[in-house]
Structure 1
Amino acid sequence: TTTIITMKITPSRAILFTKISVALICAWPQSPKITKSRVILFRACWYTCYFCSILLLLPLLNSIYEYRDNPVILAKSICLSCGVIQVTIKMMVCRIQYTSFQMLYYDMETFCKQADDKTNIILQRYVDNYKSIYGAFTLWCYLASTSVICGPLFLPQQFPTDAKYPFSVAHHPIKSIIFLHQSFVGLQASAGLCIDCSIAILLFYSAARLELLAQKIRNIKTECELDACIKLHDEILRYISKIINVVWPLVLTTITTTAMGVVFGSLNIVTEQPIVVKIQYIIVIFSASLELFMCAFPADNLMHMSSKICFEAYESKWYQGSVSMQKKIYQMIFRSQKPEVIRINGILPALSLRYYAGFLYTSCSYFNAVRLMVKIS
């Protein structure tokens, strides 16, 4: 007989999976309780990974200049450069905000480990609802880089990219080193896409805590219970505020590099190219198009959940309490009427599914414009 063991994806395992998905760029900070030697090792790994991405970005930028008269190679180099630029920027943001991210992730992991049965039910429901979407996206991201890495097996090219080096790369061991280096940075680009999943897990965690709070508010009976809920609400809002402050540069990076990547990647689809190249860039563009959705979806959910506190407070039996209790309920209702959103003044009004739909529509318009320009020319 064959025994099939089905592993249940718990909140802790979901966090571990997300942590592994961004390991190649050291985007998930270490626990604040680790030893000094492990801190030094982590920093050394970060600098090594960052240096690796820069070592490919520079030849790719050189390729853009050298092949500026070749629209096909130019479009490929710009598209791949956007992926590497995204990785370098996101790594730098995560490094600058290291302490903030460390606190946010540590609080989340500690909360999940110490959760009681009632809390675990809510957390597990979030994992069960979204594990397929985010697990599939993570695997798809690495499939996208793998398809580019395997390009030399099916195409008349030496390396996965058309990066231009200031030295000869036609002989071994230089040729092998360059191929391995480009392959590694390609996988780093996939890890860069998965950073949006690590943002999503923070947003879903915040929404879950708000949902737990909403249940407590609905069932409050005494003013002491209300005071505890108000204190917890303030704590969660401060946590969400810290998330918004550290993730908006990552969201802005995703928006700008994704838009550029989609435009120039579409050139490789609409121009005369081998079918393998078209398949490669269809996968790459599809991954880039989904990237913003990975943040927009939980941000939209958090926006609605933060407003739900207002309705749950109103549904409580506040009218049976004292005048002091009623005033506190009014203040909570008034405070909850303003949803918690990720916004960038002048650029991003509010990260939500509505914004993502507009972003997708604009990207499709650019794609059609590129297709018509190529057809006319």
Structure 2
Amino acid sequence: MVLLHQLDFSYMFVAIILKQMTPEKVITITRFSVALSFCWPLPMTSSRNQIFGYKVAQMFSIVNVNLLLLPCFYAIYLRSDDIEIVAKCISQSICQIQSIAQTVTCFCKHDTLQRIVDELWTCIREAERYEKEIFRIYIARCGRFYGAYVAVAYTMTILYLWGPLFLPIMHVVYAEYPFDVNRTSMTAVVRAHQIIVSHQCCAHLCVCVFGAFLIWFTAARFECLGVEIQRCTDIRMLAVCIEKQLRLRRYAQDVISCFRFMILFVIMTCSLVMTLCAILIITKTSLLVEFMFLLVAFFFLLYLYMYAWPADHMKDMSLSVSRSVYELKWYDETVRMQKDLLNVLVCQSPLKLSINFLVPELSLRYYCTYVSNALSMCTALRAILDKTVA
């Protein structure tokens, strides 16, 4: 009941804030939600020493998560006969491995992310009135969903971490250490470390909001460009728009390259978790373990949806430039202008978020197909195991 009240309060709080939300506030909230993940890059004006210190902090965060990941693996080894403990350790390990993978990706892509975020701030500051209105429409469309996700993620993490102080829960994180942790001082150190790592993992759960925000912003810029093209009256204005379009497509490719491997990790992990869910349900383990893995599977499906939704919309908006050109009064223009417009229409292609040889196109259609195939796989696995048991 307390948790439900917390969630309702968080959702109402987010809804009230979004009524007066601006792009600048959205950027600030997103940056603070992923601050502990060290995935948000430093500004372009940062000195070499600041960038070096930030990358050292990224490496330290990776080491810090590893210091809890290894005891989780050790607990799986020691308690392999207890399916409940093993299931909890596996679910914890998945979140920790995701944190490491995303930090490594952002460490390698720091310069690209730095350029992306710097251009983001530049576009927000120099946006015209109609562009700001389009940004507000996008915030109203999806801001409540992503804002509620962040609020729920941190609310549940806080309740989970501080639950042992008010509820009959003995362990925050299941882990085994190769030394004595029963002493008071050592117990305090271990518990503090587990709380810090759990907050890091929570910040990494919100990295999808960061990636989705950049994709939504790219889609909004395509829509703004479509409005600008409709205002073209001569070849010079059209040439400026085409140049902006080429730069915007390169910007979109940079965004896709930064989050492509994070999405691949989510797809692979989701497939693994759903397979484990099917096995646990068939083997009739405890309801707590089944619920835990179902919750983890639901989370990763939601995580993938938060990328698929904006990626699908970005593909549509990348084609809006062609529609904007077609909606011009090209029949009243000169022959040269008509030829240039025809070249623009011929050269257009949708911008897709894809992973070579693995994901041809991340979209809502792909997401529905993936969920359907995953459920079919679980059903087939259950049928195979039922025949084996029989």
> Is the pair's TM-score, using the shorter chain for normalization, greater than 0.5?
yes
Q: CA deviation at 1:354?
A: 1.1
Match of 2:111 in 1: 99
Alignment of 1:141-180 (within 5 A): 141-146=153-158, 148-149=160-161, 152=164, 158-180=170-192
* Change in CA separation of 1:230 and 1:123 when aligned onto 2, cut-off 3 Å: same
Q: What residue ranges of structure 1 are gaps of 5+ in the alignment?
A: none
| 1:193 matched to 2:205 | yes
Q: Which of 326, 350, 355 is 1:344 aligned to?
A: 355
Report if aligned partners of 2:312, 2:364 keep a CA contact under 8 Å in 1: yes
Q: CA deviation at 1:155?
A: 8.3
Match of 2:12 in 1: none
Q: Which of 361, 368, 386 is 1:357 aligned to?
A: 368
* Change in CA separation of 1:335 and 1:107 when aligned onto 2, cut-off 3 Å: same
Alignment of 1:180-329 (within 5 A): 180-264=192-276, 271-273=284-286, 282-329=294-341
Match of 1:10 in 2: 22
* Change in CA separation of 1:375 and 1:44 when aligned onto 2, cut-off 3 Å: farther
Q: CA deviation at 1:269?
A: 7.3
- Matched AA of 2:373: T
Tell me the alpha carbon deviations over residues 217-251 of structure 1, each in whole angstroms, 9 at most, x when there is no partner: 22322111111111111111111121222221111
Structure 1 distance, partners of 2:161, 2:379, is: 28
Q: What residue ranges of structure 2 are gaps of 5+ in the alignment?
A: 1-15
Report if aligned partners of 2:273, 2:293 keep a CA contact under 8 Å in 1: no
The percent of aligned pairs where both chains have the same amino acid is: 29
Tell me the alpha carbon deviations over residues 135-187 of structure 1, each in whole angstroms, 9 at most, x when there is no partner: 11122223444455356568876432322221122222222222222222222
Tell me the alpha carbon deviations over residues 285-338 of structure 1, each in whole angstroms, 9 at most, x when there is no partner: 4322210111100000001111122122111112222222222211211222x2
Structure 2 distance, partners of 1:263, 1:144, is: 25
Structure 2 distance, partners of 1:16, 1:370, is: 45
Report if aligned partners of 2:212, 2:310 keep a CA contact under 8 Å in 1: yes
| 1:33 matched to 2:45 | yes
Q: CA deviation at 1:40?
A: 4.3
Compute the TM-score of the two structures, normalised by the length of structure 2. 0.86
Q: CA deviation at 1:259?
A: 2.8
| 1:125 matched to 2:137 | yes
- 1:173 aligns to what SS in structure 2? helix
**Residues matched between the structures, number:** 371
Compute the TM-score of the two structures, normalised by the length of structure 1. 0.88
Structure 1 distance, partners of 2:328, 2:123, is: 26
* Change in CA separation of 1:198 and 1:35 when aligned onto 2, cut-off 3 Å: same
Q: Which of 78, 85, 89 is 1:66 aligned to?
A: 78
Structure 2 distance, partners of 1:14, 1:289, is: 24
- RMSD value, Cα: 2.8
Q: Which of 33, 50, 61 is 1:49 aligned to?
A: 61
Structure 2 distance, partners of 1:375, 1:150, is: 45
* Change in CA separation of 1:144 and 1:364 when aligned onto 2, cut-off 3 Å: farther
* Change in CA separation of 1:139 and 1:202 when aligned onto 2, cut-off 3 Å: same
Q: CA deviation at 1:274?
A: 6.6
